[in-house]
């Protein structure tokens, strides 16, 4: 194992995180997930070995009526609909990744956004541990029609759903085919956190997003 692979300090910039949080309390959600050898190896290679990404942005893309955007890809299992996300490269700022990923996956530039918090993952297999960070943003694209500008994304479909169904989306992800079960459990976490943060925004009087 690579030294420091289980340490968030190698992935998260405290100054950048403080700037995202502003004057609010840090909105952090800690999650420990057990992975199979194959799934752990896949993520360990991307994050710690190849250093392709130091985290990801997770996008609650909203249209005019408040519905949120799900997508699926050609390789996903049946029921594999989820929120958009994209990797943050080493040396890339979180907000740079946000703008890039929104443009690549929806074709929209300069969309207004709100930071909703972040998830600190502790991914495990046996004695192996890997840290990972996911930053949640709400992105408003109005009446724009999503169009993929990067064909490497392999997105095969979009679907709009009411934001109060994100917990049901998470449940479906947790019940995908056994070969994808670890992936589904990992992806479900972000949807549950998104639903929680949207409800808290309503309670705090910030936004009537969840109907």
In CATH terms, is domain 8-203 a member of 3.30.1340.30? no
pLDDT tens track for 167-199: 999 999 999 999 999 999 999 999 999 999 998
Flag the least confident range among 56-60, 61-65, 111-115, 152-156.
Answer: 152-156
> Among 139, 125, 135, 171, which Cα is nearest to 55's?
135
User: How does the average pLDDT of the chain come out, rounded?
Assistant: 92
d(CA 108, CA 103): 5
Q: Which residues pair with 84 in a beta bridge?
A: 59
Prediction pTM value: 0.94
46 by DSSP, 3-state: which? helix
Q: Is the pLDDT of residue 210 over 50?
A: no
Cβ atoms within 10 A of the Cβ of 4, count?
12
Percent of the chain at pLDDT > 70 equals: 93
> Counting beta carbons within 10 angstroms of the beta carbon of residue 56, is it exposed (0 to 12), middle (13 to 18) or buried (19 or more)?
buried
């Amino acid at each position: 194992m690579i030294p420091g692979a289980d340490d968030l300090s190698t992935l998260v910039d405290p100054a950048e995180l403080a700037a995202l949080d502003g004057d609010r309390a840090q909105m952090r959600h800690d999650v420990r997930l057990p992975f199979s050898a194959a799934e752990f190896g896949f993520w360990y290679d991307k994050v710690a070995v190849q250093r392709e990404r130091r985290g990801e942005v997770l996008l609650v893309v909203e249209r005019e009526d408040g519905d949120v955007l799900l997508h699926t890809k050609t390789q996903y299992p049946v029921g594999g609909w989820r929120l958009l996300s994209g990797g943050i490269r080493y040396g890339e700022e979180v907000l740079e990744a946000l703008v890039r990923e929104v443009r690549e996956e929806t074709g929209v530039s300069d969309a207004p956004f709100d930071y909703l918090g972040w998830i600190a993952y502790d991914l495990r297999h046996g004695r192996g541990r890997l840290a990972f960070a996911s930053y949640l943003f709400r992105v408003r694209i109005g009446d724009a029609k999503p169009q993929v500008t990067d064909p490497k994304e392999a997105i095969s479909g979009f679907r709009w759903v009411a934001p109060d169904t994100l917990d049901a989306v998470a449940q479906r992800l947790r019940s995908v085919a056994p070969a994808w079960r670890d992936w589904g459990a990992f992806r479900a976490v972000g949807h549950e956190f998104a639903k929680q943060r949207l409800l808290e925004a309503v309670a705090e009087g910030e936004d009537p997003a969840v109907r």
